[in-house]
């Protein structure tokens, strides 16, 4: 059966970043001297999204859904297989390495693990100052002064400037990583699971810091997380990914109060409720099986092998991502009208 046309881009006119039909396939090859392509890992498979200037988009999904790959394509750690990534009017997907330098100053990334992302051989001052030296934002004295200011800005003592990363806790290291990311005064930051590796008690502090910096500097964030409960606090708009595609995208209320995709409902049902009585009564939706391999993506709706609402049509026809409410609440499901009952009763 025919596959529907690509989903329309859920875009806004004032977007700082606009991703259109992004595809990132990693080839699988065989042979050492003569390499033969025998397949591909379809990490991202036609994703469109946009982020208005000064706002945050939350990108949520299980490990292996392709959300981090999107972030890495935007900063051009990967060159996408196809599609466009417009930063203002410049298509990041087509820029050559020599043209990327200017963009890299304006687009920065914060990684999940502050233990791995900071080189232990460099002092904190060197780590924060490095992007400023690369982009030649001042002389040595000016950069040192700015490094001290940045330490203060992220809540650390500027006297720490000559210490090494191993002398800091996880939360402090993530503050250092944030100071490094904002050192070139970027417009856009991709935060890839920035609080997942931290103690629960520290997470709120880092999120508050990121929100304060957003207000002060007018930053735009792509906030990547596997945890819908974290994204709720930072993102007014949220996209839910599954196996390389966006399954649902809406404002916060739409996702949490009226989800229109069974996968979103299952993610929401996994969030613990801090009230033992309510927690005991509510219906959990346990998905069957594991996430399918991105090498062999299921036909039709790629969620059909685990979906509690699946019907025969689901394995044959891929549902397009369409605005179900006319108010920017997009979902890719043939049976969105049955999702409310699923959320209420916990069964199909
Ligand atoms: Fe489930 Fe079918 Fe909707 Fe896919 S299209 S999410 S399989 S009901």
Instruction: Provide block-wise average pLDDT over 10 residues at a time, the chain (348 residues).
Output: 43 80 94 84 96 96 93 94 94 88 90 85 95 90 95 95 93 94 96 90 93 96 93 93 97 94 92 77 80 93 95 96 95 95 80
Instruction: Catalogue the E-assigned strands of the chain.
Output: 15-30, 36-52, 56-60, 82-87, 90-91, 107-110, 188-192, 220-225, 237-242, 245-251, 322-323, 330-331
pLDDT at residue 329, as a whole number = 96
Does the CA dihedral 299-301-304-305 come out positive or negative? positive
pLDDT at residue 26, as a whole number = 95
The preferred substitution site among 248, 288, 310, 347 for testing ligand 1, maximizing ligand atoms within 8 Å of CB, is 310
Q: Which residues of 238-256 are buried (b: 16+ CB within 10 A; e: fewer)?
A: bbbbbbbbbbbbbebebbb
**Domain locations along the chain:** 261-348
The preferred substitution site among 243, 309, 312 for testing ligand 1, maximizing ligand atoms within 8 Å of CB, is 309
pLDDT at residue 35, as a whole number = 83
Question: Which atom of ligand 1 is least distant from the CA of 307?
Answer: 1
Instruction: Give the per-residue SS3 of 121-149.
Output: CCCHHHHHHHHHHHCCCCCHHHHHHHHHH
| Å from CA of 333 to ligand 1 middle | 5
| Å from CA of 304 to ligand 1 middle | 6
The preferred substitution site among 333, 337, 339, 343 for testing ligand 1, maximizing ligand atoms within 8 Å of CB, is 333
How far is 286 from 78, CA to CA, in rounded Å? 34
| Å from CA of 4 to ligand 1 middle | 15
| Å from CA of 312 to ligand 1 middle | 10
pLDDT at residue 11, as a whole number = 52
Give residue ranges with CB within 6 A of ligand 1: 261-262, 301, 303-304, 307, 309-310, 314, 319, 333-335
How far is 177 from 169, CA to CA, in rounded Å? 12
**Is the separation of the CB atoms in 124 and 176 below 8 Å?**
yes
How far is 76 from 90, CA to CA, in rounded Å? 13
């Amino acid at each position: 059966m025919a596959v529907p046309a690509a989903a329309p881009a859920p875009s806004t006119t004032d977007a700082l970043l606009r991703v259109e039909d992004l595809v990132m396939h990693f080839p699988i090859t065989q042979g050492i001297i003569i390499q033969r392509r025998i397949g591909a890992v379809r990490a991202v498979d036609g994703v469109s999204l946009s982020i208005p200037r000064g706002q945050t988009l939350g990108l949520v999904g299980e490990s292996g859904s392709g959300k981090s790959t999107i972030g890495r394509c935007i900063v051009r750690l990967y060159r996408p297989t196809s599609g466009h990534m417009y930063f203002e009017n410049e298509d990041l997907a087509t820029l050559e390495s020599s043209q990327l330098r200017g963009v890299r100053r304006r687009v920065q990334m914060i990684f999940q693990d502050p233990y791995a992302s900071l080189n232990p051989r460099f002092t904190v001052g060197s780590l924060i100052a490095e992007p400023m030296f690369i982009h030649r934002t001042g002389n040595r004295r000016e950069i040192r002064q700015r490094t001290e200011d940045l330490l203060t800005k992220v809540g650390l003592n500027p006297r720490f400037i000559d210490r090494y990363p191993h002398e800091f806790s996880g939360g402090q290291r993530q503050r250092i990583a944030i100071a490094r990311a904002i050192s070139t005064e970027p417009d856009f930051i991709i935060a890839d699971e920035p609080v997942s590796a931290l103690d629960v008690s520290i997470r709120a502090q880092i999120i508050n810091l990121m929100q304060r910096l957003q207000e002060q500097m007018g930053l735009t964030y792509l906030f990547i997380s596997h945890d819908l409960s974290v994204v709720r606090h930072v993102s007014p708009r949220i996209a839910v990914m599954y196996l390389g595609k966006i399954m649902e995208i809406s404002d916060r209320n739409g996702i949490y109060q009226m989800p229109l995709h069974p996968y979103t409902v299952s993610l929401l049902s996994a969030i613990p409720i801090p009230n033992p009585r309510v927690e005991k009564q509510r219906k959990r939706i346990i998905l069957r099986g594991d996430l399918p391999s991105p090498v062999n993506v299921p036909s039709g709706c790629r969620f059909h092998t685990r979906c509690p609402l699946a019907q025969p049509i689901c394995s044959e026809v891929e549902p397009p991502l369409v605005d179900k409410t006319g108010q920017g609440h997009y979902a890719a499901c043939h049976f969105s009208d049955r999702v409310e009952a699923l959320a209420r009763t916990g069964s199909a």
